[in-house]
Amino acid sequence: MTRHRRAGFTLIELLVVIAIIAILASILFPVFARARSKARQSACMSNLRQLGTALAMYADDYDEMLPLWSLVGGAPDGSGRLPGPEYTWDTELFPYMKNTQILVCSENPYGRTYRSYALPRYISGQALGAIGNVTATVTLFEKGHYTPGTWEDATGENFHQSTSASATPEYFHTEGKNFLFLDGHVKWHNKSAGPFADKDGPSGVAGQCETPGEHPGGDWPS
């Protein structure tokens, strides 16, 4: 009787297949990671657009005035003060939000439960009619290492800040951040371009957004 042997893979063939799969995985995984990061960046931009709508509604109810970043003022000191009588800008906008999750960016390098946006000090409590260059004036930028309603990180003095008062190396999206501008549009900028690189104002420091008023006396874009 004739015996038939079943054909199979040799050890070398199996190793070749495994090597090919490993090479394909090493190529595709970074692509998938970039696609996921891009999707999160787009979701963050959607958050900012919704917050821009909430800011516009607030201003419409309060005689064209933007909210104060905090009703008691002060300077970030790393204390991470808890919600209370400070009433930060985000708590002032709560009535205008359908979902407070829009305060959180999933790409926040400090965690996915922290408020991820700050109101620049230079537009805190300002009248909309006093600000000239609305297409270049930032109303919210990515910064935050504390939960919504917390006093710390509610405002910012420089767009390079990602937490507290000092410039920190953590950028939210591929070496850059998303910005909401006063006219309502949202745009991503690399850390060396856009608002990061602006040097308006008396200090002449790149990314400064502390002093209200137009250049050269303040930090509003001219």
- For the segment 172-176, the average pLDDT, to the nearest whole number, is 92
* pLDDT tens readout for residues 39-82: 888 999 999 999 999 999 999 999 999 999 998 878 777 777 76
Token pair belonging to 18 = 């495994």
* pLDDT tens readout for residues 82-110: 666 778 999 999 999 989 999 999 999 99
Q: What is the structure's pLDDT at 13? A: 74
- Distance of CA 163 to CAs 39, 61, 151, 192, 196, Å? 24, 31, 12, 18, 15
Helices then strands, counting H and E runs in the chain, come out as 2, 5
Backbone φ and ψ for 190, nearest 5 degrees, come out as -65, 155
Least confident of 9-18, 111-120, 122-131, 179-188: 9-18
Q: What is the structure's pLDDT at 18? A: 84
Residue 21 confidence (pLDDT) above 70: yes
- For the segment 138-163, the average pLDDT, to the nearest whole number, is 94
pLDDT above 90 covers a percentage of the chain that reads: 61
Residue 2 confidence (pLDDT) above 70: no
The top-scoring range by mean pLDDT among 4-13, 162-171, 188-197, 212-221 is 188-197
178 three-class SS: strand
- For the segment 21-25, the average pLDDT, to the nearest whole number, is 81
Token pair belonging to 103 = 């305060």
